A and B are shown apart, each in its own frame.
Chain A
Amino acid sequence: MAQGIRDKVAILGMGCTKYGERWDCDSEDLAVQAFVDTLEDAGIEKNDIQAAWLGSHFDEVNIGKGGNFLGVTLHLPYIPVTRTENFCASGTEAFRGACYAVAAGAYDIALALGVEKLKDTGYGGLPNSPAFGQFSQMIGPNATAPGMFAQLATAYSAKYGVPMEKIKEAIAHVSWKSHQNGAKNPRAHLRKPVSMEQIMMAPIIAYPLGLFDCCGVSDGAAAAIVTTPEIAAKLKPNQPLVKVKALQIAVSSGEEVAYNNWDGAGFATTQRAAKRAYEEAGITNPREEISMMEVHDCFSITEFATMEDLQVSPPGGAADDILAGFYDLDGQVPCQPDGGLKCFGHPIASSGIRMIFEMYNQLLGRWPEDRAVKNPKFGLTHNLGGVPTANVCSIGIFGLD
């Protein structure tokens, strides 16, 4: 009987570069910065690392395929390096690879690093590589991500009878809250609070998503070194251990896109991954037990729907919770305390590890008072890659011993 990952792996050290338009950096510079910080935090030597996982998605255009980039750039000592690519979950996948290796007893200490240098891929964003293959390129609509995700809003409104005006206001609050949080974070890409008015009157990109409902393009890297709780306790006797409580991935079954059984108002993947993650972590009442979250707010409507898919807000209740400040930094379950994708930034394969970085530091109480979550117990991270009809969802739950 499978046991899951709960309490089998501890995070020894983490690092994360400043996200942003890093015109000054190559992917190599970003990877080295994240790695050096992580190594320092872990308090070990490079040669202690026995295996590594590299997450990269579009950065393939810069760093190529395979794991060579990491071995060569960091001059790792001929250890295994595996490249993971799974859309926006690529970073979490790298982390998962490292954790499973340690949990399996195959290695004592493993590295996960996600890097993405999107600003070299061209003006206006990510290269239009056929994310779903050549056949889908032939017949699929001439679509962009905002348009695909925007469709959640109309479907949600139809399902729950929540007026579009209320959804619009709630997703504006989602952005407003993230900008408030991001403004306080020195590593964040965009450090500027905006007013609700400025958000509400912004031009519409894909109805009902406006300019502030969509994330941008950032460069950055983040890394983690993981080990067993026993080794971590030995290496860091004076520090509480941040343990991995759950790691779950769910990938679309094709029913969302081709079968008529999906309501389009949420993510079938997130719903499944959340259920499994809570079981793995031993959480029975997420609304009460989760202390904080970093979720994939590629679009405000994604965060909105995810609140229900994660069972934190009741079905049909996301707007009420959001507007009541439930997810604000001083609310019951702060969401995006670091600013989220929309302010911290979204270098794709780095984002999953960046979210873990935030949970890790919050759990260790390392952040200044003005952006600290009070007495966190469980922190949850969530990535969603792809489009609502075909995607991958990753969920991680982390907690102190």
Chain B
Amino acid sequence: MAGISSYGGYIPRYRLNRMLIYGAMGWINPVTITNAQGEKAVANFDEDSVTLAVAAGTDCLAGFDRGAVDGVYFASTTAPYKERQNANIVAGALSARDDIRTADFGGSLKAGTTALLAAVEAIAAGNASSMMVCAADCRLGKMGTSQEMIFGDAGAAFLVSDKDVIAEFKGSYSLAYDFVDHFRGAFAQFDRQWEDRWIRDLGFTDFIPQAVAGLCAKYSLQPGDFAKVVYPCYYSGARRSIDNKIGLTPEQVQEDMLGVIGDSGAAQPLVMLAKALEDARPGDKILLVGYGSGCDTLYFEVTDKIAELAPRRGISGSLAIRTDLDNYAKYLVWRRMVPADIGMRGEEDQWTRWSLVWRNSRVVLGMQGNKCTECGTQAYPPQKICVNPDCNAVGRFEPVYVSDKGGKIFSFTSDMLAATPNPPAIYGNVEINDGGKVQLDFTDCALEDLAVSKAVDFSFRLKYYDPKRDISFYFWKAIPAREEVA
């Protein structure tokens, strides 16, 4: 049996009230008021599609053996690299093995569903027994556009495997159309779109029912057979037409969370699916639709195993961890839409030395430390000679990943002088659980959230961006451990 064995979600902590956008930009395009309801999730300045995907993947893998993962697929239309496999960064951060299959899926908003389809088919074909699919997007709309209002940042992840399957993969049907409703050329920063009515009426309202009909015909199903139908469409008026056209009752339709997250691009259908699985019951048939340059439809059936999956943060838990981004200009700077001065030090040229990065690949991406086999002392970063002064054994170590261990705050401070797009910089020393101490940046917190001895988790983040060479470099930061929202 091939299917989904676990799911995870991640919504960045910052939420931008759309009226703030309207207040700042409504003067140039007043009609965006029609999209100005609610709020959208915005990635922190140190987050991007890769880190969102890792965060969702981490949530998904909680309680699972990372060494068992046979492949990592990453889906996004906002991957930081055109050349350098983004999925390898995700795989490294998830401490996956080296002998795995990785791939980036992009080029279309249905990249998320296509990646999921590829993964389940690899399992079904017997070529792998466990695959990770991580999707995330951080699309940008130009200032003053409806896209700017609609697009939100989010990630979702699925563990697809042949055992302990909670949602069995039953079949798929796809359509491919060179229907250019939205596009970005190879060097474009912002989304461009054709006329709304054309996208709405010929795109979403036509293709989605077509794809659903195709799947139903292929597997002799009726739309009424599905407990939930998950499809993206940011035109709320069109959703009613689509539902009618397919023949869905309101209970069957998965909510798109546009008012609290926004449309998360290639991740959108997967974010909605992760949310649907939170509430799914054994026997439920779930239809997943991806839309963009055509459609993918995937059909799942929820199994008894869903009751055994340990509760995870998921989309709901992640949504509950929020703070207002109360400043539109800050959003622009964080998303690199406008330049801002962060002082001379901020202009220091930061070289990335790739040979050094490669030698320390696991250390940096996976937060791999080491543990002395003589005295058991754990350290991060890994030592060459045991740091325990009573041991000092040379080179007798076994590797140990500490990224999921968390730790507690040893000391911390907030710093008004450090060059950062989000001052003050907050950082400190963290005692890693099971031993070792490391100095880390803190993120997603205010000074008031911190105290000596308080528990922290580690979060994979953008460490720096080198605009001169277009390099996104990643490392781990500390974030206050969150009480789980039940």
Touch test A–B (CB under 8 Å):
yes
Residues of A129-169 contacting chain B, CB below 8 A: 134-135, 137-144, 146-148, 150-152, 154-155, 158
Chain A residues in 8 Å Cβ range of B436: 258-260
- Checking A122, A135, A142 against B425 with a beta-carbon cut-off of 8 angstroms, the contacting residue is A142
0/1 string, B156-198, CB within 8 A of A gives 1: 0000000000000000000000000000000000000000000
Neighbour of B415 across the interface among A140, A146, A253, CB < 8 A: A146
A254 at the interface (CB under 8 A from B): yes
How far does the alpha carbon of A155 sit from the alpha carbon of B387 in the complex, in Å?
Answer: 22
A128–B353 CA distance with the chains assembled, in angstroms: 17
* A255 & B473 in contact (Cβ 8 Å cutoff): no
Q: Which of B357, B360, B416, B437 contacts A260 (CB 8 A)?
A: B437
A124 within 8 A of B: yes
Instruction: Determine the distance from Cα of A125 to Cα of B345 in the docked complex, in whole angstroms.
Output: 9
Contact with B along A102-143 (1 / 0, CB 8 A): 000000000000000000001110011000001101111111
Complex interface bits, B306-345 against A, C-beta within 8 A gives 1, otherwise 0: 0000000000000000000000000000000000000111
Residue-by-residue, is B418-442 near A (CB-CB < 8 Å gives 1, otherwise 0)? 1110001101110100011111110
Known: A158-B452, A260-B431. A140 touches B439 (CB 8 A): yes
Further 9 A-B residue pairs, CB within 8 A, beyond A139-B381, A206-B414, A206-B415: A138-B357, A141-B428, A151-B429, A154-B412, A154-B413, A255-B387, A255-B389, A260-B435, A261-B389
In the complex, chain A residues 156-201 whose Cβ is within 8 Å of any chain B Cβ? 158
Tally of contact residues, B, Cβ under 8 A: 49
Minimum CB–CB distance for B460 against chain A, Å: 12
A264 contacts chain B at the CB level, 8 A cutoff: yes
Q: Which residue of A lies closest to B353 (CB)?
A: A134
Of A142, A154, A158, which is within 8 A of B420 by CB?
A: A142
Q: For B419, what are the chain A residues with a Cβ–Cβ distance below 8 Å? A: 142
Q: Which residues of B contact A (CB under 8 A)?
A: 343-345, 348, 350, 353, 356-357, 360, 363-364, 377, 379-381, 383, 387-389, 410-420, 424-425, 427-429, 431, 435-441, 447, 452, 463, 473, 475-476
Residue among A123, A154, A204 making CB contact with B452, cutoff 8 Å: A154
> Top 6 closest A-B pairs, CB basis?
A147-B415, A141-B427, A151-B411, A141-B441, A150-B413, A147-B413
Residue among A124, A144, A207, A261 making CB contact with B447, cutoff 8 Å: A207
Instruction: List 7 A-B residue pairs with CB atoms under 8 Å apart, sorted by A's residue number.
Output: A128-B345, A135-B360, A139-B363, A141-B428, A147-B425, A150-B415, A151-B413
A74 proximal to B (CB < 8 A): no
A122 adjacent to B344 (CB under 8 Å) = yes
A234-282 contacts to B, CB under 8 A, are: 253-255, 257-261, 264
Give the complex CA separation of A13 and B103 in angstroms.
70
**Chain A residues close to B by CB (< 8 Å):** 122-124, 127-128, 134-135, 137-144, 146-148, 150-152, 154-155, 158, 203-207, 253-255, 257-261, 264, 389
Pair B344/A258 contact, Cβ less than 8 Å: no
For B410, the chain A residues whose CB sits under 8 A away are: 155, 264
Q: Which residues does chain A contribute within 8 Å of B381, judged by CB atoms? A: 135, 139, 258
Min C-beta distance of B68 to chain A, whole Å: 28
In chain B, what residue has the closest Cβ to A145? B417
Q: Are A389 and B429 interface neighbours, CB within 8 A?
A: yes
Q: B415 and A259: CB pair below 8 A?
A: no
State in angstroms the CA–CA spacing of A206 and B426 once bound together.
9
In the bound complex, how far is the Cα of B429 from the Cα of A155, in angstroms?
A: 11
Contact between chains at A143 and B437 (CB < 8 Å) = no
A142 in contact with B344 (CB, 8 Å)? no
The answer to whether B452 and A142 have CB atoms under 8 Å apart is no
A144: chain B residues within 8 A (beta carbon)? 415, 417-418, 425
**Complex: how many Å from CA A259 to CA B463?**
24
Whether the Cβ atoms of A138 and B360 lie closer than 8 Å is yes
Q: Residue A138 contacts which of B348, B447, B463 (CB distance < 8 angstroms)? A: B463
Contact (Cβ within 8 A) B475 A139: yes
List A contacts of B380 (CB < 8 A): 258
Contact B411 A147 (CB under 8 A): no
- Chain B residues with Cβ under 8 A from A255's Cβ? 387, 389
